[in-house]
Amino acid sequence: MPARVGSGSRPVQKHGHGEVVQPTAGEPRSELADQSLPRTQVVEIQRARLLAAAVRAVEELGYTRVTVAHITRRARVSRRTFYELFSNREECLLAVIDETLERIDRELIAAAVDDLAWCERTRVGLGVILSFFDREPALARMCVVQAMRGGPTVLERREQILARLAKVIDGGRAEGPRGERCTPLIAEGLVGAAFAIVHTRLLRDERVPLAALLGELMGMIVLPYLGPAATRRELTRPAPDVSPQLTARKQFTVDPLEGLSMRMTYRTAKVLEGIAQRPGVSNREVARHAGIHDQGQVSKLLSRLQRLGLLVNQGPGHIKGEPNSWCLTPSGVLLMRSIALRQSSPHEGQRV
């Protein structure tokens, strides 16, 4: 996100049917002036729309009933674009799970869990996971409930996740004489039990936050390694604070075009980019930036973006025979910021 976002107010001028963000003095270009927008970035937006649509489809229909058509229809993205990004439905749904895991990993890193002793590391890490699931219930149900109905690839990823968690819990064997008598199977059993408890709560769709389970789950986990006294301590400890910075983290599975009846093509993105870089540009300048040679085509596209509330024309235009003067509305600025965020957060293993 650009450094100036949230660092100060910028003039906002009412004009026609919308508002336009004005550049401040000495700032001829917008906050996104230095952000390039290659074709792969447009594809990344389409990818985000497909992932968001996949989550909605699974929530509505259940994992086993979802088809590629269900996903593309909700994303308003063509099947051809879908298959440019994913080999099949399973790969798309697996990408949702992997992206969710990446987000949780980032929060665990931010919480510096690796620097803590075993018991505290387990407690803080479990608290981060439960808090994330409370903030993202659809993703929690996708990863914990619906994934159990997935195909071989998804089930294999699920087993990898459980094994990774069991390895963390198994670290309790190094905590003293009691832990030394434990076997790796105990860690597997504890992870399975905790997973089953969370699964049941998500399946019931209860209003009680999952984070409220932290003390009891930790009491169950530490018992075989540290004994009953440690369990009693865990039952009475308050839940750890979750950093506001973590709770406000951008949701990358949210459709950046949600509520807009449009498809983000390369030309559309280049038009928005050109206006973001040079507020007040004319039709001809926009066309040149976007590589559109047909003036009628660029006029239609600009008019459509104006109707969608992304642009506003500050110029007198055809009324006085003068050029149009296009600027982004606040909604247009937010969309371009979303594009910039996605550009700065590439996805590992992306096929584009």
- Asked, for residue 352, whether it belongs to a domain, the answer is no
- Asked, for residue 136, whether it belongs to a domain, the answer is yes
Check whether residue 68 and residue 217 sit in a common domain. yes
DSSP 232-246: HHHHHSPPPP--HHH
Choosing from 200, 227, 247, the residue where a domain stops is 247
Check whether residue 149 and residue 204 sit in a common domain. yes
Check whether residue 121 and residue 270 sit in a common domain. no
Q: CB of 264 within 8 A of CB of 46?
A: yes
- Asked, for residue 2, whether it belongs to a domain, the answer is no
- Asked, for residue 219, whether it belongs to a domain, the answer is yes
Residue 247: its pLDDT value, please?
A: 43
Residue 5: its pLDDT value, please?
A: 31
- Asked, for residue 128, whether it belongs to a domain, the answer is yes
Q: Is 209 exposed, middle or buried (0-12, 13-18, 19+ CB in 10 A)?
A: middle
Q: Which domain holds residue 192?
A: 49-247
Choosing from 189, 220, 247, the residue where a domain stops is 247
Residue 3: its pLDDT value, please?
A: 38
- Asked, for residue 348, whether it belongs to a domain, the answer is no
Check whether residue 179 and residue 93 sit in a common domain. yes
Check whether residue 227 and residue 302 sit in a common domain. no
Check whether residue 224 and residue 99 sit in a common domain. yes
Check whether residue 125 and residue 222 sit in a common domain. yes
Residue 244: its pLDDT value, please?
A: 43
Residue 254: its pLDDT value, please?
A: 53
Check whether residue 181 and residue 134 sit in a common domain. yes
- Asked, for residue 4, whether it belongs to a domain, the answer is no
Residue 234: its pLDDT value, please?
A: 94
Residue 263: its pLDDT value, please?
A: 65
Choosing from 247, 267, 300, the residue where a domain stops is 247
The model carries a pTM of: 0.65
Check whether residue 95 and residue 155 sit in a common domain. yes
Cα–Cα distance measured from residue 117 to residue 168, given in angstroms and rounded to the nearest whole number: 11
Cα–Cα distance measured from residue 121 to residue 108, given in angstroms and rounded to the nearest whole number: 10
Q: What is the mean pLDDT, run by run of 10 residues, along the chain of 352 residues?
A: 37 40 38 44 80 93 93 90 93 94 92 91 94 93 92 93 96 94 96 96 85 95 96 86 46 55 71 83 86 85 84 68 79 67 42 26
Residue 200: its pLDDT value, please?
A: 94
What's the CATH number where 20 sits? 1.10.10.10
Check whether residue 82 and residue 183 sit in a common domain. yes
Q: How many domains does the chain have?
A: 2
- Asked, for residue 350, whether it belongs to a domain, the answer is no
Check whether residue 215 and residue 125 sit in a common domain. yes
Cα–Cα distance measured from residue 9 to residue 237, given in angstroms and rounded to the nearest whole number: 43
Question: SS3 string of 39-88?
Answer: HHHHHHHHHHHHHHHHHHHHHHHCHHHCCHHHHHHHHCCCHHHHHHHCCC
Check whether residue 221 and residue 132 sit in a common domain. yes
What's the CATH number where 239 sits? 1.10.357.10
Rg of the Cα trace of the chain?
25
Cα first-last separation, the chain: 23
Residue 339: its pLDDT value, please?
A: 58
Q: CB of 191 within 8 A of CB of 207?
A: no
